[in-house]
């Protein structure tokens, strides 16, 4: 397969970037999108050009590292997939493909398509954990958990912190990510103990990082590779209101 | 937890400010219901007798007069908050995407709430100018046919006169289209903002929101049309 690629090239956060055109040929339909990028980079290196920097790690949809805004959507045209799970057969031969970094001021560009998502880490650092004293390993079933709540907490915990929700949102809001992280603890008895401090700290940090606010457009939920639900944002709001008035 | 929250108070964060958006939005919805209910009295088609009674009640009842002030404060809060949030949101992505497919993941009217709201605001200014200013700040409007002084008109007559102009009718109808789309997103969005999302009730809220938006806008829109066409005498 042959593709016309329009790729964002930017040396670092200090200098301005621009879209650059590339043509790539002889691409196997069963290559993943990242493999296509690897082939492009091989060619660029052979020609003595700078390869395109992009993030990736597990290449099996679980780490959340691969990013890229492909043809106008985070992680490309398919629902419920990361870029590493996207295959070239999902495109048509000869198609023009726009490849851009996830854009948000809270995610500064490191180089080309690689962005710095450590804002998420800092949000986690202020509350995305439970405080326990280490010691003997406890019996897993010591604290009974309602099955329905356990399932919801598990769903929330499936967020891989990829940032597609931020990339898709017209306000670059991190509400879906933060609400998933707040929910995964808020739903469980172990997490209730620090629930109030957690939601206040994480919501404040989210603002401090420069993410926008939620306008309930639902773009995040539609683009989330893990199907994180908007109900988590409603839960975060409830938790925040009750924590801030009590 | 190793960090105490830096700001305090419900409205210090964007989520808190958005809550004010939801509360004022829901309040404005209740106002729309009352307003539409009173206006429907024109459909009695009794030459405006019933409608003028309704208008007199709304203009003189002390509780309604207090609510009128609350209503103005509510609208102002809604607009100022909308401005504050929209400006904050505009700042969060300074370099735009070269290529975007927003329709793949969200509805256009969900993304254009600020514009739809601005159209509603422009309508409100025109609308207040048509009816509210004359009742409050002039003695042009009589409470009923009976205590009409020379040169005065009832609210009903004032309405008929204003809607003789087809351009005004068109502006009113177009504004109700903006209102419909504002509410199509806003009604269900306000519940989500307030945290009222529940698998059992949310589908019903969304359905109610859809029908409320359509019905209230259509009802408001047919009033000037019916007056213009002389269906209501
Ligand atoms: C009768 C008039 C109006 C009604 C009934 C109304 C209703 C609503 C409702 C229910 C919401 C949803 C709140 C939420 O998502 O939590 C909303 C949001 C909003 N309204 Fe209004 N509104 C009115 C007038 C206006 C005006 C005059 C403006 C602006 C000048 C405006 C701008 C906005 C904006 C920007 C939002 C936020 C949208 C978002 O977050 O996506 N509205 N409105
Ligand atoms: S909520 Fe979804 S889109 Fe957002 S960071 Fe988590 S997995 Fe990615
Ligand atoms: S590389 Fe790990 S999710 Fe794509």
Query: What is the C-alpha separation between B226 and B42, in angstroms, rounded?
Result: 10
The pTM of the full predicted model, rounded to 2 decimals, is 0.94
- Cα angle B22, B25, B29 (rounded to 5 degrees) comes to 135
Cα distance from N-terminal residue to C-terminal residue, chain A = 60
Give domain status of residue B104, yes or no: no
The reported pLDDT for the residue numbered A4 is 98
Domain A3-111 and domain A118-245, same fold? Reply is no
Looking at the partner chain, which of B5, B105, B189 has a beta carbon nearest the beta carbon of A216?
A: B189
Q: pLDDT grade, residue B6 (50/70/90)? A: low
Q: Enter the tokens of residue B80.
A: 């100022």
The reported pLDDT for the residue numbered A27 is 97
* Mean pLDDT along residues A6-27: 96
Residues spanned by the domain of B79: 14-83+110-228
The reported pLDDT for the residue numbered B139 is 85
* Mean pLDDT along residues B142-167: 89
Q: Do A240 and B13 touch (CB under 8 A)?
A: yes
Q: Which of A36, A64, A114, A167 to mutate to test the pocket of ligand 3 (most atoms within 8 A of CB)?
A: A64
> Could you give the number of structural domains in chain B?
1
Q: Name chain B contacts of A125, Cβ cutoff 8 Å.
A: 2-3
Query: What is the C-alpha separation between A2 and A29, in angstroms, rounded?
Result: 10
User: For all residues of chain B together, what is the average pLDDT?
Assistant: 94
Atom of ligand 1 nearest to the CA of B120: 27
The reported pLDDT for the residue numbered B4 is 52
Q: pLDDT grade, residue B2 (50/70/90)? A: very low
Which residues' Cβ are closer than 6 Å to ligand 1? A 215-216; B 21-22, 25-26, 28-29, 32, 78-79, 82, 86, 113-114, 117-118, 120-121, 182, 186-187, 189-190, 193
Give domain status of residue B167, yes or no: yes
Distance from the alpha carbon of residue A55 to the mean position of ligand 3, in angstroms: 8
Strand partners, A115: A109
CATH for A118-245? 1.10.1060.10
Tell me which residue has tokens 């289209």: B177
CA distance B173 to chain A (A): 26
Q: pLDDT grade, residue B118 (50/70/90)? A: very high
Give domain status of residue B27, yes or no: yes
Of the candidate CATH numbers 3.10.20.30, 3.20.19.10, 3.10.20.70, 3.40.640.10, the domain formed by A3-111 belongs to: 3.10.20.30
Domain layout of chain A by residue ranges: 3-111, 118-245
CA distance B232 to chain A (A): 40
- Listed ranges A132-136, B6-10, B58-62, B100-104; the one with the highest mean pLDDT: B100-104
Give domain status of residue B118, yes or no: yes
Query: What digits encode the pLDDT tens for the residues A216-227?
Result: 999 999 999 999
The reported pLDDT for the residue numbered B204 is 98
Residues 6+ apart with CB under 8 A from B169: B163, B224, B225, B228
Q: Are B155 and B52 a contacting pair, CB within 8 Å?
A: yes
pLDDT over 70 percentage in chain B: 97
* Mean pLDDT along residues A151-156: 98
Distance set, CA B82 to CA A215, B25, B79 (Å): 10, 11, 5
* Mean pLDDT along residues A148-152: 97
Give domain status of residue B220, yes or no: yes
């Amino acid at each position: 397969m042959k593709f016309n690629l329009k790729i964002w090239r930017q040396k670092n956060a200090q200098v301005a970037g621009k879209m650059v055109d590339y043509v790539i040929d002889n691409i196997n339909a069963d290559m993943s999108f990242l493999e296509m990028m690897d082939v492009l980079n091989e060619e660029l290196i052979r020609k003595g050009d700078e390869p395109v920097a992009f993030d990736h790690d597990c290449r099996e949809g679980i780490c959340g590292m691969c990013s890229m805004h492909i043809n106008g959507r985070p992680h490309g045209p398919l629902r419920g997939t990361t870029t590493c799970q996207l295959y070239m057969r999902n495109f048509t031969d000869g198609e023009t493909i726009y490849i851009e970094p996830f854009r948000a001021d809270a995610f500064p560009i490191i180089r080309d398509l690689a962005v710095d998502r450590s804002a998420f880490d800092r949000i986690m650092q202020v509350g995305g954990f439970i405080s326990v004293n280490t010691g003997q390993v406890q019996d897993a079933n010591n604290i009974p958990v309602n099955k329905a709540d356990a399932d919801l907490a598990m769903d929330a915990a499936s967020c891989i912190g990829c940032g597609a929700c931020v990339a898709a949102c017209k306000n670059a809001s991190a509400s879906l990510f933060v609400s998933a992280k707040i929910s995964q603890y808020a739903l469980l008895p172990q997490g209730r103990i620090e629930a109030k401090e957690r939601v206040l700290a994480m919501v404040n940090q989210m603002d401090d990082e420069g993410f926008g606010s939620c306008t309930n457009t639902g773009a995040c939920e539609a683009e989330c590779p893990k199907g994180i639900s908007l109900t988590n944002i409603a839960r975060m709001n409830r938790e925040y209101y009750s924590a801030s008035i009590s | 937890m190793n960090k105490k929250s830096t700001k305090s108070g419900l409205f210090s964060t964007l989520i808190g400010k958005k809550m004010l958006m939801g509360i004022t939005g829901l309040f404005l919805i209740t106002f729309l219901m009352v307003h539409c209910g009173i206006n429907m009295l024109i459909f009695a088609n009794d030459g405006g007798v019933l409608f003028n009674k309704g208008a007199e009640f709304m203009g003189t009842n002390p509780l309604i007069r207090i609510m009128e002030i609350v209503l103005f404060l509510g609208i102002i809060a809604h607009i100022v908050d909308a401005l504050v949030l929209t400006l904050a949101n505009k700042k969060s992505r300074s370099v735009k995407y070269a290529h975007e497919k927003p329709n793949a993941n969200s509805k256009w009217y969900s993304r254009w709430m600020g514009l739809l709201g601005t159209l509603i605001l422009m309508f409100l200014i025109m609308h207040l100018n048509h009816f509210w200013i004359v009742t409050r700040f002039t003695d042009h409007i009589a409470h009923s046919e009976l205590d009409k002084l020379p040169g005065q008109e009832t609210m009903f007559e004032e309405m008929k006169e204003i809607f003789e102009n087809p351009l005004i009718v068109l502006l009113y109808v177009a504004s109700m289209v903006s209102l419909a789309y504002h509410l199509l997103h806003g009604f269900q969005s306000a519940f989500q903002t307030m945290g009222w999302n529940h698998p059992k009730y949310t589908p019903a809220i969304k359905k109610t929101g859809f029908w409320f938006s359509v019905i209230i806008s259509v009802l408001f829109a047919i009033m000037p049309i019916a007056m213009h066409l002389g269906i209501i005498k």
